[in-house]
């Protein structure tokens, strides 16, 4: 049953209205405008019969307040008035009423007008619902055409439009170009079903490391884009890129693919590397190319490449100076120690060299572990790692390379060494460490493998 709210300060009018309407409708009666507003805050109705001339708050003020209520913006209002002049009629409609009924009202006329208005309201709601449904259908179709069918990520066209809108709206961000290295080998060796599963896994991993407001895109093949919205710092972007690489590589390893598949990422920041998507994309693509040319399985900022080039560009050199600079040797006598990022590039260069020349190169991983139940504190751990670095430096040759991977692990590349030589060198490092180490809470273990091998033979 439809509900009619009647607002009138005259008791006789209320009683008469209820008598006329109650056979067909549920009737709610109130005498003041404020009472009507209080009812509408929690209650509902299908039509409001509203008297114009009321004390405290007239009908025009009441309808203005009703139209400010979210749930009653479109509720039909019929004014009740004894004024039949054209000025009152015009104002009734301008204030948002759908009709008005003159006083004293004729019951048959009132019933007829209410029935007609309810019929029109049903038609309006039906049309509104159909329109909303059509809008949803069009939106769904547009969404599907803007999404990659396999991964569900946005396509290039939508991403460019969305990112440009965000940048024009004052939001900053950074573009990450993300590419899987050697992905083609997964398709070739394990089939396209395995390849598709890998791409879906890649997309899901990107979702894991995205935040609200970021835009995720599959450009095509194994190329993806992540737009990190806001004002992310270089440290934050580095952390996210590193986490993505580590996570995806771990998942690929879990799949037991013998493809040496890894992940490379190029990063471009707004506004220094571009103020629109196309420029940011091109800058990130150049940074990605740098990673591809320097061993893959890492990330690089376009701004770092430009800064280094600009810094060198401040001074021109001749060929003799350049040769002297590149041939200049370090002053140390032991193993060459470098930071992990640089070590990573050198490692991949040596791997390429080994694959072409079939030279014996060993990679050794030294790990510091707790010795017994005693746990070293941070100071003891750092001291032990410094002693391990010193032992590696003095025990190895100038042609060998080492880096600190973490606060508990060191990596060493032994050039022109077979597994027996590698074991001998590793044992010499540990013996040297034990001679200088006074902390009995730690010990050093190691694993060794030929560079091409994927399995490390654990030793203690």
Mind listing the pLDDT tens digit for each residue in 299-328?
999 888 666 555 555 556 566 665 665 555
Main-chain dihedrals φ then ψ at residue 38, nearest 5 degrees: -65, -40
Q: Is the peptide bond before 328 cis (omega within 30 degrees of 0)?
A: no
**What's 94's DSSP letter?**
H
Confidence of residue 36 (pLDDT cuts 50, 70, 90): very high
**What's 287's DSSP letter?**
H
Percent of the chain at pLDDT above 90? Answer: 43
Q: Give me the domains of the chain, ranges plus CATH numbers.
A: 3-124 (3.40.50.2300), 156-313 (3.30.70.270), 336-459 (3.30.70.270)
- Look at residue 159 in the predicted model and tell me its pLDDT: 93
Query: Minimum mean pLDDT among 87-101, 149-163, 257-271, 418-432: which range?
Result: 87-101
- Look at residue 149 in the predicted model and tell me its pLDDT: 87
Over residues 224-231, the mean pLDDT reads 95
- Look at residue 247 in the predicted model and tell me its pLDDT: 93
**What's 405's DSSP letter?**
-
> For every residue of 215-230, which 3-state class applies, written as one string?
EEEEEECCEEEEEEEC
Dist. CA 91–CA 87, nearest whole Å? 6
Q: Tell me the per-residue pLDDT of 371-403, one tens digit each, with 9 for 90 and over.
A: 877 788 888 888 888 899 889 888 888 788 888
Confidence of residue 460 (pLDDT cuts 50, 70, 90): very low
Bridge partner list, 23: none
Over residues 103-111, the mean pLDDT reads 85
- Look at residue 382 in the predicted model and tell me its pLDDT: 84
Question: Contact at 8 Å (CB) between 425 and 361?
Answer: no
- Look at residue 317 in the predicted model and tell me its pLDDT: 58
User: Strand (E) positions, 186-312?
Assistant: 215-220, 223-229, 262-269, 299-301
Residues marked as catalytic: 222
Q: Tell me the per-residue pLDDT of 115-142, one tens digit each, with 9 for 90 and over.
A: 998 888 888 888 888 888 776 766 665 5
Closest by CA position to 222, among listed 151, 280, 283, 172? 151
- Look at residue 34 in the predicted model and tell me its pLDDT: 92
Confidence of residue 458 (pLDDT cuts 50, 70, 90): very low
Q: How many CA atoms lie within 13 A of 376 on its CB side?
A: 21
pLDDT over threshold 60, residue 143? no
Dist. CA 215–CA 35, nearest whole Å? 49
Distance, C-alpha 138 to centroid of its chain:
26
DSSP codes, 7-52: E-S-HHHHHHHHHHHTTTSEEEEESSHHHHHHHHHH---SEEEEES
Instruction: Compute CA distances 9 → 13, 80, 164, whole Å.
Output: 8, 11, 58
- Look at residue 197 in the predicted model and tell me its pLDDT: 94
Closest by CA position to 50, among listed 25, 24, 27, 31? 31
- Look at residue 310 in the predicted model and tell me its pLDDT: 59
Dist. CA 157–CA 354, nearest whole Å? 43
Q: Are strands 99-102 and 215-220 parallel, antiparallel or unpaired?
A: unpaired
When the pLDDT of each residue in the chain is averaged and rounded to a whole number, the result is: 85
pLDDT over threshold 50, residue 457? no
pLDDT over threshold 90, residue 29? yes
Question: Contact at 8 Å (CB) between 295 and 348?
Answer: yes
Instruction: Compute CA distances 98 → 113, 117, 120, 132, 378, whole Å.
Output: 10, 8, 10, 23, 78
Bridge partner list, 402: 337, 412
Q: Tell me the per-residue pLDDT of 340-362, one tens digit each, with 9 for 90 and over.
A: 767 877 887 888 778 777 788 99
Dist. CA 305–CA 301, nearest whole Å? 7
- Look at residue 322 in the predicted model and tell me its pLDDT: 56
- Look at residue 314 in the predicted model and tell me its pLDDT: 57
- Look at residue 359 in the predicted model and tell me its pLDDT: 81
User: Strand (E) positions, 84-135?
Assistant: 99-102
């Amino acid at each position: 049953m439809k509900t009619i709210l009647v607002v009138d300060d005259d008791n006789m009018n209320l009683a008469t209205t209820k008598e006329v309407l109650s056979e067909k409708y549920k009737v709610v009666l109130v005498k003041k405008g404020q009472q009507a507003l209080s009812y509408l805050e929690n209650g509902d109705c299908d039509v409001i019969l509203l008297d114009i001339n009321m004390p405290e708050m007239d009908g025009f003020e009441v309808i203005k307040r009703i139209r400010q209520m979210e749930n009653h913006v479109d509720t039909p209002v019929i004014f009740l008035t004894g004024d039949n002049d054209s000025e009152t009629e015009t104002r009734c409609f301008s204030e948002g009423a759908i009709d008005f009924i003159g006083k004293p009202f004729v019951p048959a006329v009132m019933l007829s007008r209410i029935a007609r208005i309810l019929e029109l309201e049903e038609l309006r709601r039906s049309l509104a619902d159909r329109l909303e449904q059509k809008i949803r259908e069009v939106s769904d179709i547009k969404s599907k055409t803007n999404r990659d069918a396999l991964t569900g990520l946005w396509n290039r066209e939508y991403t460019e439009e969305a990112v440009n809108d965000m940048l024009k709206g004052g939001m900053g961000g950074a573009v990450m170009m993300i590419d899987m290295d050697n992905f083609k080998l997964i398709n070739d060796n394990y089939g396209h079903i395995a390849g598709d599963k890998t791409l879906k896994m890649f997309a899901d991993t990107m979702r894991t490391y995205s935040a609200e407001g970021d835009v995720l895109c599959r450009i095509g093949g194994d190329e993806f884009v992540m737009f990190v919205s806001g004002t992310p710092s270089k440290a934050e972007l580095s952390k996210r890129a590193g986490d993505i690489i580590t996570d995806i590589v771990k998942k690929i390893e879990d799949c037991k693919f013998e493809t040496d598949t890894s992940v490379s990422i190029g990063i471009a920041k707004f506004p220094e590397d571009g103020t629109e998507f196309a420029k940011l994309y091109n800058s990130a693509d150049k940074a990605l190319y740098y990673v591809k040319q320097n061993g893959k399985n890492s990330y690089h900022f376009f701004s770092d490449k430009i800064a280094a080039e600009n810094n060198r560009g401040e001074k021109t050199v001749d060929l003799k100076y350049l040769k002297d600079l590149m041939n200049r040797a370090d002053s140390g006598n032991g193993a060459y120690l470098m930071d992990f990022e640089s070590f990573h590039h050198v490692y991949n260069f040596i791997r390429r060299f080994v694959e072409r020349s079939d030279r014996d190169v060993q990679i050794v991983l030294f790990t510091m572990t707790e010795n017994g139940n005693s746990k070293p504190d941070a100071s003891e751990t750092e001291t032990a790692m410094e002693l391990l670095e010193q032992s590696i430096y003095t025990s190895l040759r100038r042609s060998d390379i080492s880096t600190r991977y973490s606060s508990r692990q060191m990596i060493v590349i032994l050039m022109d060494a077979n597994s027996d030589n590698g074991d001998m060198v590793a044992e010499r490092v540990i013996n040297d460490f034990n001679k200088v180490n006074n902390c009995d809470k730690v010990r050093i273990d190691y694993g060794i493998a030929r560079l091409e091998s994927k399995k490390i033979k654990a030793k203690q």
